[in-house]
Chains A and B, each alone.
Chain A
């Protein structure tokens, strides 16, 4: 099965061939590297830009206004902070123009912790991203979801920030992308560039098919009756693993809601799950002060207070200025599997 970078590459290839994508660019995005995580390797329309995030986002905005459907990359989300004002402009152009300008652009960027990335390769951006109203924000946790969300992002007439969880980029999927060869070695030989000289290399693209996951649609990755965990990105498979272990041990039936889209988000799905279980944990790796999960928390209290059996919970990153390199520090700052286990245990065990 394809891993997430391969899935993104396949979606971008599909976009080049079928959805009018003509410009895919960013730092090291073109040959020979094809992106520092190889998400753009072998793509026909991928090119290298100057080392200039403002130029990259500005170029994407101008191209979008000119009716192109650009896909731009910010190499790490940690380096997106110097373009927040431009992202805000991309996000508000439709509104300020009274609905007359479309801004169909995708900005993709690796996000979050989990690769021992220290202070500038571990950041999350969810809270700020979700305050750029007019921008859509997605964050997949599986290769197939990444494929389907990228196709929807390309087709969308609004700017879409596509957050790629760094820790999941090399994780293989459990579902085939439509058109993907079933032998993963074959896929690798077709679309992964060789090590060393690759100047003569050309990818052989499988005939992948359209598969779009609507932006704004979450999914239940494991149904459950006793408690709900609402999460996305790197922590979605962690929550799923814990929920499955609890189920196997007969110690709790947890429903896992993978948001996939942060804005707009699937409130109906979240709401119906919480109504069913009466217990909810919001789980993400952003820092605690003004966390995006706090918004969901507040809405839960406002709209579902009388459906709750126990107080809702938020498990998220500590409000430190950065994420330390030593694993001891990283694990102390960002939620890990044991933290998720503990939080879900407490949620399940509290008497109603």
Chain B
């Protein structure tokens, strides 16, 4: 597809140029196709539990493209949850690596076959280990944000999680620590609100009118946006990151997104009838004359071919050897007298 960097001035995309829009579209599609493949692998017994981010691509790609990527406190830290596949792809991750993690093979670069899919870990990009424990990333984000705050430059910490998890203490710890008068933290606190915590509707448990209203208590910058909309997401993230980078202060951003395959494979991971950010985006791109149906078809076909090839490759890769269980108990190797028998 021909790409140009001509700005599409005005209209629904503001100052975003065509090349950027098409890049976002391609990343969203790759992320979707990848997640759909992982769901399928779970169903056919090629993998186990699936949890991921279909429905969050508009927001997550917009986020990944604006990360200051690198290692160490001069770069952004990412304390993510398990729905950020599109963020990782936008940062440059390979689709094959998620397939590896789904199949629990030894080549899984994130966890060596030890953890669920979408539990990434990339030290080179400051992506700290994703964990299943809801909301604990809002506590570790305090630490990476202190590291950013202590380091000259404009790097910030980004933390993401769901609406349900905001009831946990870690969310409130994060708000309190981010707003300490002695050391405000440069941290973009993101809550992706899909209106559910597994089966429990947000409206039945949360009296807050908006989650971003928590920002009012601290007089901090905060906003709620439509996370299904690319332009709105991209602009809001741009504004929030610019604020955190310059002011060295926190920003609370709530993005309302769809949850297109339910919570996880535990509830079947079937497609549900909620607004689809990719369909919405394609409609707008077409309406603005930026791309046509045939262009979109090409992108989908290409993504499918990429994921197919990756999947075939991963099928040939070995599972981890049993004795690798002792690797990484400590950073250095284990002392010889460490008990290893599992009993008598």
Contacts and interface: CB of A to CB of B under 8 A. Distances in A.
A276 interface: no
Contact of A57 (B111, B115, B139): B139
Given A65-B128, A66-B143, A100-B121, A59 B177 contact: yes
Interface stretch (A86-94, A204-212, A231-239, A282-290): A86-94
B170 to A, nearest CB: 6
Given A52-B176, A59-B143, A86-B136, A94 B331 contact: yes
Interface stretch (B32-40, B145-153, B204-212, B288-296): B145-153
A49 B128 CA distance: 23
A18 interface: no
B2 interface: no
Interface residues of A, number: 50
Interface in B318-344: 327-332, 334-335, 337-339, 344
Given A61-B139, A63-B144, A96 B331 contact: no
B173 interface: yes
Nearest to A61: B140
B140 to A, nearest CB: 4
Interface in A72-94: 85-86, 89, 93-94
B277 interface: no
A54 B176 CA distance: 12
B131 A89 contact: yes
B334 to A, nearest CB: 8
A88 to B, nearest CB: 8
Interface stretch (B72-80, B81-89, B257-265): B72-80
Contacts of A66: 72-73, 77, 126, 143-144, 147-148
Nearest to B112: A98
B128 A101 contact: yes
B111 A97 contact: yes
A62 B77 contact: yes
A277 B110 CA distance: 49
B147 A89 contact: no
B123 interface: yes
Nearest to B130: A96
Nearest to A83: B139
A66 B110 CA distance: 18
Interface string B145-174: 111101000000100000000000110011
Nearest to A22: B150
A134 to B, nearest CB: 6
Interface size class of B (residues with CB under 8 A): 35 or more
A58 B141 CA distance: 7
B133 interface: yes
A302 B341 CA distance: 11
Contacts of A302: 344
B14 interface: no
A163 to B, nearest CB: 19
Given A98-B327, A101-B128, A62 B147 contact: yes
A102 B77 CA distance: 15
A93 B144 contact: no
A92 to B, nearest CB: 8
Given A62-B140, A158-B331, A50 B77 contact: no
A65 B170 contact: no
B246 interface: no
Given A22-B150, A55-B173, A95-B329, A62 B144 contact: yes
A331 interface: no
Contacts of B170: 54, 58
B74 to A, nearest CB: 10
B92 interface: no
A62 to B, nearest CB: 2
Given A65-B128, A96-B129, A99-B327, A267 B140 contact: no
A96 B131 contact: yes
B72 A67 contact: yes
Contact of B143 (A47, A58, A134): A58
Nearest to A88: B133
B143 A101 contact: no
Interface in B285-329: 327-329
Nearest to A265: B337
B133 A94 contact: no
B140 A95 contact: no
Given A65-B128, A264-B337, A96 B121 contact: yes
Q: Which 7 A-B pairs have the closest CB atoms?
A: A62-B143, A58-B139, A66-B147, A99-B328, A98-B112, A267-B337, A62-B144
30 contacts: A54-B139, A55-B142, A55-B177, A58-B142, A58-B173, A60-B143, A62-B77, A62-B140, A63-B143, A63-B146, A65-B128, A66-B72, A66-B73, A68-B143, A68-B147, A85-B136, A89-B140, A93-B129, A94-B329, A94-B330, A94-B331, A95-B328, A96-B121, A96-B131, A98-B114, A101-B121, A102-B331, A134-B330, A157-B331, A267-B337
Given A57-B139, A58-B142, 15 more contacts: A47-B182, A50-B173, A54-B169, A58-B136, A59-B142, A59-B146, A62-B128, A66-B73, A89-B133, A96-B129, A98-B108, A98-B112, A99-B328, A100-B123, A264-B334
